[in-house]
Chain A
Amino acid sequence: MLRVVFVLGVIFGLATVFAVAGFYPWVDHPRLASRAQVLPNGGRSETFVMRLPVDRIAAVGTDDMGLAAMPFPPELDLPPALSSTPVHLDHFKVRDIDGNVVGVAARHAVGTPQGIVVAWSLIFPSRGALWLSGGTTAAALDSAVAARGFRPGEAWTGDVSVQLGSDEAASGTVLGGSDEFSGLSGAYSERWNLTGVGDAGELRGTIEIATRMSFSR
């Protein structure tokens, strides 16, 4: 009888380990409620915000990309072999409209024969990836702040709002993404609201990504 009890204990132990290994949610990213709004004509809108400079993680680019591509941290530099074409890489912590940090974003702007193209990859650990594709012009922010009195090398305080992209209505298209964003398409606008530039060229203000998306039919 003792042998039977021992074997039962072994089976119970094995079953416990395999059940925990197979079914326990080993990874469960904290999730905040989505601030998406349902649109009257179908689809949904959601706005994401990045505060400068606190949400900037790393930025680097070529000189011709202007203020936005100032290196951060300052010691960051592109390999010389990648400096012959316009390049601007930026990385941010992403907030929802209430100011909660909900994700990480990578933004690449690179020169192509069609002009400077912008690609966003916004990653929300509990929700998936959202991909955006748009365009911009080199040093778009520089000309906007210069028109309000900014001079390179000097600190500046003011209020400038610049929507990037050639289309007034949208900066580009929503390409969908993974998990919760899979199958979505639509448009987005990318607006940089600048309130200041520091002595070393560091930007202050916010970036707003406003999306309007619906499931592709």
Chain B
Amino acid sequence: MKYFVVLVLGFLTGVGAGLGGLYYTPLTRESGFTLTSTDQSLNYESPITAGLVFTHGGLSRLPTHPASVPELWEATLNKTALSVLALAGADGEPRAVASRISLLSERTELLTGGALLRDNWLVSVPGEGSLVITADANWWPFLRETLIPVWYFGREWRGPSGYAPTAGPAAGGAALLRGVSGAYAGRSGVAAERYQIEAFDQRVGPGKASAELAWQFAQ
């Protein structure tokens, strides 16, 4: 009996040390892919507070909007979110529209990969055409530094903070871009995102945030 109790204590100590190691490991905290030069760079604000539409499966405490937009409550969709955004150019004027369908990625692996979200973008530039971007984003650094301490432990947010979450699925960690129509038809390339969170609210999460979606076509 004495040996069993010691074994259990050792096991619990190991589990605690393992969880601590996972929480603080640098393996899942690496900054993601960024582009050094871009063909196009567009900006948007927090989809949760400033987007045209934001809805999800109802499992998150984030508010949807407009208020009457349907939730994605079906069992096959309830880990999915839809954001509809106006993307602005460097002058701040809207230049493009985008639909982003995000879902928890089945590639999520917490030991070395992080908590991955698969973002499926459909971006259209009126007068030019449409393209799709497939991006895996590692949200573990944001979860660890902001979401878990502030939302779940009630700690004060230490911001602003910036993230470069793009982590694939292309080689080197880039997001994949493919032209669909118009001037972009038949073209392909890579893309990346960057976020700057300016304010984090206990109710709406990243209430004020700016983000950049940039891409570069293959030559």
Contacts and interface: CB of A to CB of B under 8 A. Distances in A.
B68 A73 contact: yes
B17 to A, nearest CB: 6
B10 A21 contact: no
A143 interface: no
Counting chain B CB atoms within 10 Å of each CB, the highest count among A15, A16, A175 belongs to A175
Given A5-B3, A58-B84, A82-B97, A123 B130 contact: no
Interface string B80-123: 10101010000001110101010111101111100100001010
Contacts of A89: 84, 97, 99, 124
How many B residues touch the partner, as a band? Answer: 35 or more
B192 interface: no
A178 interface: yes
Q: A interface, by DSSP: helix, strand, loop or mixed?
A: mixed
A21 B86 CA distance: 37
A28 B126 CA distance: 37
Counting chain B CB atoms within 10 Å of each CB, the highest count among A5, A31, A112 belongs to A112
A21 B110 contact: yes
Given A9-B10, A13-B10, A82-B97, A22 B17 contact: no
Contacts of A123: 80, 101, 103, 120
A144 B170 CA distance: 44
Contact of B182 (A30, A101, A114, A131): A114
B86 A82 contact: yes
Interface stretch (A37-45, A103-111, A146-154, A186-194): A103-111
B77 interface: yes
Interface of A: 1-2, 5-18, 21-23, 25-32, 56-58, 60, 73, 75-76, 78-79, 81-82, 84-87, 89, 91, 93, 100-104, 106, 108, 110-114, 117-119, 121, 123, 125-126, 129, 131, 133, 175, 178
Given A9-B9, A13-B17, A29-B103, 13 more contacts: A10-B14, A14-B15, A22-B109, A27-B79, A57-B82, A58-B82, A75-B68, A89-B97, A104-B80, A106-B82, A106-B101, A114-B182, A119-B129
